[in-house]
Amino acid sequence: QVQLVESGGGLVLPGDSLRLSCAASGRTVSTYIMGWFRQAPGKEREFVARINWSGVDTNYADSVKGRFAISRDRVKNTVYLQMNSLQPEDTAVYYCAAKRTYQSEYEYWGQGTQVTVSS
């Protein structure tokens, strides 16, 4: 069983930065592919970024490319999402997720952390 706990959300001004953390527990979680998703009010949940087990292979949604960076600390079993140049359209609940392979579905999800970007 894998458990994911997000933290680091909050209220920030446009242009500010924020770093989200996702603490993972589970025997083999360090080998999982980890992803970040977000869901804004009234919208579908959307993919933000993902990172493979080694941290070498990353992928981003076009809307965050160049502003967000995903990373992982395999020793701490923690995945991070560094978010820079935040804009009001980044406001959403951000979720961490884990899956075993590139082809599989994300099977483990955290409870989410709220990020609000507003002046």
Residue 27: the pLDDT is 72
Alpha-carbon distance 81 to 59, whole Å? 12
| Separation of CA 102 from chain center | 16
User: 103-118 pLDDT, tens per residue?
Assistant: 999 999 999 999 999 9
User: 58-102 pLDDT, tens per residue?
Assistant: 999 999 999 999 999 988 999 999 999 999 999 999 999 999 999
User: 9-34 pLDDT, tens per residue?
Assistant: 999 999 999 999 999 998 777 889 99
For residue 72, give the nearest of 9, 26, 10, 29 by alpha carbon: 29
Residue type, 80: Y
Cβ within 8 Å of residue 55, ≥6 positions away: 71, 72, 74
